[in-house]
Structure 1
Amino acid sequence: MRILVVTPWFPTAESAASGVFVQREVEALTTRHEVTVLHLDWQRGTALDPSSRGGYRYRHVPLSRANPLAYRAARRIVTEIAQSHDVTHTHALTGLVPWLAGRPSGGRPWVHSEHWSGITAPETLRAPDRLALRVLGRRLRSADAVIAESSRLANGIRRFRASPIDVVPCVVDAVTPVERPRGPGLRLVAVGSLIARKGPMLAVDALAELVSRGVPAELTWVGAGPLATAVSERAREMDVGDRLRLAGALDAAGVTQELQAASLFILPTQGDNFCVVVAEALVNGRPVVSGAATGAVDYAAPAVSRFVEPQTGAAYADAVEDLARATASLGADEIAATVAGRFDRVRVADELSRIYMRVAG
């Protein structure tokens, strides 16, 4: 089939990690279908070198949110290209702004994949974003199929859509697990933007609590963001500044390297729909401690995970100590085996193909 993927999120030269989960899904689809990616880039980034793309056609369209004519241009471009494709597959609610009325696919089948954490954690949104959620959420009623990446997100979408919702996980590639470092200390790693929703302050609080209990712990946080200075100051105030390392934003290889150097993954998230980094930690054979407001509860086995309800440093420290004891005898291969095949490209491509066939009749 000919599939048109329309997305506001896709890797660019400025942000190689932006929309990488969409890119992986597209690469999986190319084994089954003829795929065209139309990147409606409202951030107006620089398209990646064509040599970095394989198996699919790509068109980069930089647009400005401040220009009303940009929305008309987006509608025209998508409608024109959709006519030569069997299914139009849009991504992200915020990408539907040009279609406050009508369908991106015109009269052809339309599938939509949702990812926005604002649907499941509206309390984290600013007033303009809450308004956008109310207005755009209604558009999900019109799609022939809506896909969520977790049951948590599917439940959030049901506020807007009564029709069935498909759940298809993100693609997370398998790796060869490396054994965890052994020793008396705990090497914790977190991956995420340094923003309030990811809980970096709570991670520092947990680190300080562990140290106060006599646990020789250290924490590496991978990711950049506006709270970087505040997080460093918090660590110094709690006398663990020398045990915190802010690694900044890293590429996929860098993230894997940090996961492999750690003994346990921690992310005090206040709201995630799938949480790719938790899946990556498990694939790498690392047990995970996370905030309970996450779609990772779908796939993280109780034997290798703890999901924390009370949002305090002490509660996260308790979970870390408990999980470290419970998994002390487990090898990295055993931990990775708990999610074996769950996020495989073949499996994701198969599930999406069944949805395309269904909506295309």
Structure 2
Amino acid sequence: MTGKRGGAAKRAGDRDVAVVTPWYPNPQQEWAGAFVEAMVGATAPGCGQVTVYHTEAWLMRQPAAEVEAAREAHRRLLPQALHPAPAVAGARLVRVPVPTVPEYTFADLARQHASWLREALGGAPIPAPVVHAHVGLRGGWTALENARPDARVFVTEHASFLDKVLAQPDSRDLYAEVLERCTGFFVVTDVLRDRLAETFPALAGKIEPISNPISFEAPRERPVTELRRWLYVGSLVERKGVGPLLEAFARCHGTDPELTLTMVGAGPLAGALADRAAELGIGHAVSFPGAVPPHESARLMREHDLLVHAARWETFGVTVIEAVAAGMPVLVTRCGGPERTLAGIVDAAGEMVDVDDTPASIVAGYRRLCDRFPDGLDLPRARRVLDGRFGFRTVGEAHHRHWFPDAEPRSTAPDGTADAAPARETAEERDVA
């Protein structure tokens, strides 16, 4: 850090990188921004010093008359909070609290994040010559307003709530400015690219897909031998299809009482789902451990038999790829993202079913999957192909080619193909808003 807040700092190296993000795992929410942490883990190797600036929104609910006083107190206390901490892959992490109020638009929030980062930097620019921002406004605008004049600023959009941002006139105008000013603009899904291209046709040529990375380093020790332990990982919200999933499980459990279901995640439907499981007489077979940190989610994937992902709409569905990475078959709906991410390997990885408000398609898909398990699947092949599309090395090299003109050419994909292309979809997977 530089300026009056951070004191003197060494001159930035040519391959130093700053990451600006409104989300990053913290002790209270270890899963929040896990995809940003993964991106740092994938891209930091091969860089110089990597510094993550986490501008973290702190919601104020005081009366309006007290808000400014609270901000002034925060301004005085801020220097005591700015202590860089070690982060993944040798990076360092600086958390910058950002006081916000409920009435803000996304554009208002972006300006607040930019202003408080400037305050934390003591008015000096971010020293790194390359800045990578997460999400268009709270990351992208904040980075552009604080980068040094000659910095190369790249933005990655992965928000599933992009439509809400673009529906606000002031936020849409600010977003257009971010697109125009940044050096490069990436999306983690074709769905997001198409939405932005439709809204900003004059800037569509600047938008390029590069996936968020997924780790393929820790598969299960033993292959799956039966499909009895179901797992769901994600938010417990209507869009994720958790209601039909539970109903489908109840039907399948009726013919196979040894089936179990673990529904990992938090959300407004948690209580209703637990009550419904009791009504259906399957409460003993369904567990709700709540939201868990990424390492615990990975452990659960290695210990269960089948990931069931019944979303109605999904920009990517990162848990589907994480499950295959862990050596686990998947039963997933055709909800947007999975059709692209699993293109060419659906049968090898599991079974895909239509989106349905009833449990019928899930039940039928499960029975088809059981009929062809295990010989009709090829999980090792699916894992190799997806590693080539979404693995840390592939995604890291894709970013380095843009960040550093002298980046080495990308290597052959782990599945032997010459084109280890950046992923078409990965997202703000768990609806962190």
TM-score by length of 2: 0.71
* Residue equivalent to 1:155: 194
In the alignment, the residues of structure 2 paired with residue 232 and residue 192 of structure 1 have an alpha-carbon distance, to the nearest angstrom, of: 16
AA in 1 matched with 2:209: V
* Residue equivalent to 1:141: 179
Note the C-alpha offset of 1:51.
4.6
AA in 2 matched with 1:218: T
AA in 2 matched with 1:355: H
145, 156, 166: which one pairs with 1:113?
Answer: 156
Where do 1:14-163 residues align within 5 Å? Answer: 14-34=28-48, 35-43=50-58, 50-66=85-101, 70-71=112-113, 72-75=115-118, 77=120, 82=125, 84-96=127-139, 103-105=145-147, 107=149, 108-119=151-162, 122=163, 130-131=167-168, 134-142=172-180, 143-159=182-198, 160=200, 161-163=203-205
AA in 2 matched with 1:20: A
The 3 A distance-change label for structure 1 pair 282 and 113 is same
The 3 A distance-change label for structure 1 pair 15 and 81 is farther
The 3 A distance-change label for structure 1 pair 240 and 346 is same
Q: Would you say 1:302 and 2:346 are equivalent positions? A: yes
Q: Residues 123-176 of structure 1: CA distance to partner in whole angstroms, max 9, x if unpaired?
A: xx5xx8842764554344322211111223222222234223222222211123
The 3 A distance-change label for structure 1 pair 354 and 129 is closer
219, 224, 227: which one pairs with 2:266?
Answer: 224
Larger radius of gyration: 2
Secondary structure of the corresponding residue to residue 340 of structure 1: helix
Note the C-alpha offset of 1:263.
1.8
Secondary structure of the corresponding residue to residue 301 of structure 2: helix
The 3 A distance-change label for structure 1 pair 64 and 283 is same
* Residue equivalent to 1:270: 312
AA in 1 matched with 2:160: S
In the alignment, the residues of structure 2 paired with residue 200 and residue 49 of structure 1 have an alpha-carbon distance, to the nearest angstrom, of: 40
Where do 1:235-274 residues align within 5 Å? Answer: 235-274=277-316
Note the C-alpha offset of 1:283.
0.6
Contact 2:353 2:361 in 1 (8 A): no
The 3 A distance-change label for structure 1 pair 343 and 79 is farther
* Residue equivalent to 1:182: 225
Contact 2:22 2:139 in 1 (8 A): no
AA in 2 matched with 1:4: A
Note the C-alpha offset of 1:182.
3.2
361, 368, 373: which one pairs with 1:322?
Answer: 368
AA in 1 matched with 2:394: R
The 3 A distance-change label for structure 1 pair 50 and 144 is closer
AA in 1 matched with 2:262: T
In the alignment, the residues of structure 2 paired with residue 322 and residue 95 of structure 1 have an alpha-carbon distance, to the nearest angstrom, of: 44
The 3 A distance-change label for structure 1 pair 28 and 47 is farther
Secondary structure of the corresponding residue to residue 290 of structure 1: strand
Note the C-alpha offset of 1:221.
0.8
> Which segment drifts farther, 279-288 or 157-166?
157-166
In the alignment, the residues of structure 1 paired with residue 213 and residue 253 of structure 2 have an alpha-carbon distance, to the nearest angstrom, of: 36
* Residue equivalent to 1:9: 23
Note the C-alpha offset of 1:256.
2.2
Contact 1:195 1:227 in 2 (8 A): yes
Q: Residues 293-323 of structure 1: CA distance to partner in whole angstroms, max 9, x if unpaired?
A: 3423333222124143333211122222223
Q: Percent identity?
A: 22
The 3 A distance-change label for structure 1 pair 268 and 78 is farther
Secondary structure of the corresponding residue to residue 169 of structure 1: coil
Q: Would you say 1:350 and 2:397 are equivalent positions? A: yes
Note the C-alpha offset of 1:64.
1.1
AA in 2 matched with 1:279: I
Contact 2:265 2:290 in 1 (8 A): yes
In the alignment, the residues of structure 1 paired with residue 315 and residue 219 of structure 2 have an alpha-carbon distance, to the nearest angstrom, of: 26
> Which segment drifts farther, 85-94 or 350-359?
350-359
Note the C-alpha offset of 1:28.
2.4
Secondary structure of the corresponding residue to residue 63 of structure 1: strand
Residue-pair matches, total? 351
Structure 2 segments unaligned to the other structure (5+ residues): 1-14, 60-80, 408-433
Note the C-alpha offset of 1:97.
8.6
AA in 2 matched with 1:198: K
In the alignment, the residues of structure 2 paired with residue 158 and residue 197 of structure 1 have an alpha-carbon distance, to the nearest angstrom, of: 24
The 3 A distance-change label for structure 1 pair 293 and 283 is same
Contact 2:185 2:207 in 1 (8 A): yes
In the alignment, the residues of structure 1 paired with residue 32 and residue 245 of structure 2 have an alpha-carbon distance, to the nearest angstrom, of: 24
In the alignment, the residues of structure 2 paired with residue 146 and residue 140 of structure 1 have an alpha-carbon distance, to the nearest angstrom, of: 9
Secondary structure of the corresponding residue to residue 19 of structure 2: strand
